[in-house]
Amino acid sequence: MPKKLKWRTLMIGGLFTLFFVGLVVRLYWVQVVQASWLLEQAQVRWEADKTIQPARGDIVDRKDKVLAEDAPAYTVAISPRLIVQNKIENDVVLGLSAILKSSEDGSDIPLIQEHLRELVAKKKEDGTPRDQVEVRPDGWKIDKEQADQVKALTAELQARLKKKSPSSVGISLIEEKKRYYPGGTLAAHVLGYSDKEGKAIMGIEAQMDDILKGVPGRINYEKAASGIELPDAKVTIEPAVDGKNVRLTIDKSIQFYIENAMAKVAEKFQPKSMAVVAADPRTMEILGMASYPTFNPNRYWSVGKPDAFMNRTIAAQFEPGSTFKLVTLAGAVEEGLFRPNDQYQSGSIRVSDRTLHDHNEIGWGRISYLDGLKRSSNVAFVKLGLEALGTDKLKAYIQNFGFGAKTNVDIAGELKGSIPMKYASEFATATYGQGLTVTALQQAAAYAAIANGGKLMKPYVVKDIVDAKTGQVEMSTKPEVVRQVVSEATAKQVTEYLEQVVSDQQIGTGRKAYIDGYRIAGKTGTANFVGEKGGYAVGRWNISFVGYAPVENPQILIAIIVEDPDLKGDYHAGSEVGPPLFRDIMAQSLQYLGIPPTVNVNNKSAKPPFTLKEVTLSVPDLVGMSVADAKAAAGKYGLKLETLGNGDKIVKQFPLPGAQITGSQLVEVALQEADLTLPNLVGRSLREAVEVCSFAGVSCTAVGEGYVVGQETAENGVVSLQLRAPDDASAAAETLAADNAAKNSASKNSASKDNSSKDSSTKDSSAKQSPPPAKKDTSASR
């Protein structure tokens, strides 16, 4: 063998030998040394691990009407490749921007168009158009209405391009879920909201997030390199635990009455803000809680001013004014120091280096303390609180009623107010609600204590935690007594005094809160407004009213604060804000709750407070009867029917079976479920008219007070009721008879203006410190 060939053979053999030695070493390294690590890595590649998202629990009202729930949502995606290929870039940009705008006037369309043009021009690394990009944030989790518009745009482009499928156009929708609030702004500050990323923000959504969100699950399985699950693969599933439902104490209907009434006040008086709380005084369950300005949690991103997110019922502090006189009055009655018929000199009183005045400054001469309460005399309460009770007892009663401390309601963000009393003049002004700050909820709780026999209750909003699948209640909140602030006898006596503030139609500052047929207790307040730069603003006030009904068995309490309404510089106009707002909400709520009237309004000789006439007629069950049979059954009870709609049998009625009513009250019966025609309401009181409107499912507004003399239906279906306030029941009957004879041609006469005194304190500090005491009281305290 030639020497050259021999060396070549040896070299090749050596290389093959080295190759096989290296291969053996590598196999040993892989199969022995790295075996466990490689197996672990392979397992990761083979297995798919997916998170199973739980369903978020619903938030419902006390009657299980949904206030917040998960709902389908859609994210818009576009294909730059197909859009460029179809040469429809401009069509897509213009069409989608018009659909995805968030402002009503379309002011944001140019920005959306600019963003869409950037997305349409998106390219891959190799310079070719992208296959798909999501339109965020404008097209992210849009609702069904907008999604339908996107589908319509896609269908239009598909037809024009003559494409076989919508997907070939370049616009698609990705199905997702988002939080949906069916009522829009309804109870927005109580509910809060969840953003598009699923994060709970404020309100019950945030407070109860751990309960609502549930626990995510997991699914694990083996897969091929393509991602397809392998046959006979091992699958491990940890199911998700869905969130619980949260049932609130809120009543959706009462909440609607509140917000609807507030909207009317906002339109008429353009206030800076409002806060309203409605509660059951027996338990302090919150039946309604609303703030203005408000927001729509479905479109939380479109809110212009951050203060729209503030729950002003618990997070705004203000000087209460004369509504705070409740504390001084209750303390004086409890200590046996309030003698209603004793007299004092009204007008002004000297305390240390300050002269404190009644709102009219000159007073009303020598008057009784009861008249001082009705007229909301500051001097009367200085004498009762400072001179009679003394500073120590006064402060003790203020603290016992819960002021200066949080109520500990189950909603985050509550402030405690401030009671910084040191000098005699500060104690003096505190007797009528000046120089200290409170929240609307504290006011509501204090009045509820009087309505509830002297028991201060802890307010709450969360009623039950409910299993979403079984409906089983897993946790309930029970009414909690904080303490007994005054005796039951004192509470009853104070209620009777507060009733006269409303029922005395001559001097009672709360007379415009009066509702025919019901005994109502309440107190008004008018306080100077604090300007933006501090100090009291001239000609600007805050209006408040707190009251409850019916006096003999209080079932609903309403506290109202209206900050800086446009009163045209006349504080007397405050009587057209607070008391009527209270009356509007209360009248509808009493009717809705099925609480019958107990006052005989037809007694001409009766002077407020009216004498009681006990109800003796019980409403029979008429549902399912024919009209003839129902009239016969009602006749046996001495009742009259009014039928609404067309049909063979009665499908619903009001009042409900078993309700106790007066013989003069009609029983409304419907022959069909919906689309009821509203009957002629001329001749009825406001309460009766509202009852019929509510039963027929028709929204109504009232102008004036007293009895209906005309009604008009607007294009939006809302019925406007014109009312007239006669001097007595006899005059009312004559007026109404004339109106009926003239076929409802009565003119829209407004209720006569009443320029008598109103009550107030000074400002609404809204969490600002009170100004230092002046040498002379110059505020317009009423």
Distance CA 689, CA 710 (A): 11
Active-site annotation, residues: 322
Joined tokens for residue 426:
């500060």
Joined tokens for residue 360:
């009219």
Q: Which of 695, 706, 461 lies closest to 580, judged by CA?
A: 706
Q: Which of 392, 390, 391, 365 lies closest to 379, judged by CA?
A: 365
Q: Which is it for the CA torsion 466, 469, 472, 474, positive or negative?
A: negative
Report the alpha-carbon angle 145-148-153, nearest 5: 130
CB 549 within 8 Å of CB 555: yes
CB 761 within 8 Å of CB 433: yes
CA 537 from centre of chain: 29
Contacts of 460 (CB under 8 A, 6+ apart): 249, 284, 285, 286, 409, 410, 477, 480
CB 691 within 8 Å of CB 721: no
The torsion region of residue 509 among left (phi > 0), alpha (psi -120 to 50) and beta comes to alpha
User: Which DSSP state fits 384?
Assistant: I
Q: Would you say how long the chain is, in residues?
A: 782
For residue 222, list its beta bridge partners.
47
Contacts of 663 (CB under 8 A, 6+ apart): 617, 638, 639
Distance CA 191, CA 204 (A): 5
Tell the residue number behind the tokens 């923000």, with chain if given.
Answer: 201
Q: Which of 326, 582, 571 lies closest to 454, judged by CA?
A: 326
Joined tokens for residue 678:
């509203």
The torsion region of residue 214 among left (phi > 0), alpha (psi -120 to 50) and beta comes to left
Distance CA 509, CA 505 (A): 9
Distance CA 247, CA 477 (A): 10
Q: Which is it for the CA torsion 82, 84, 89, 93, positive or negative?
A: positive
In angstroms, what CA-CA distances link 267 with 260, 272, 449, 566?
11, 12, 33, 11
CB 66 within 8 Å of CB 182: yes
Helices (H) and strands (E) in the chain, counts: 22, 31
In angstroms, what CA-CA distances link 58 with 176, 197, 203?
17, 18, 14
Joined tokens for residue 268:
């008429």
CB 722 within 8 Å of CB 741: no
User: Which DSSP state fits 609?
Assistant: S
Q: Which of 287, 222, 218 lies closest to 62, judged by CA?
A: 287
Distance CA 157, CA 68 (A): 36
Strands of 245-395 (E only): list them. 245-248, 273-280, 285-292, 343-345, 348-351, 354-357, 366-368
Other CB atoms within 10 A of residue 582 CB:
28
Print the SS3 string covering 171-185: EEEEEEEEEECCCCC
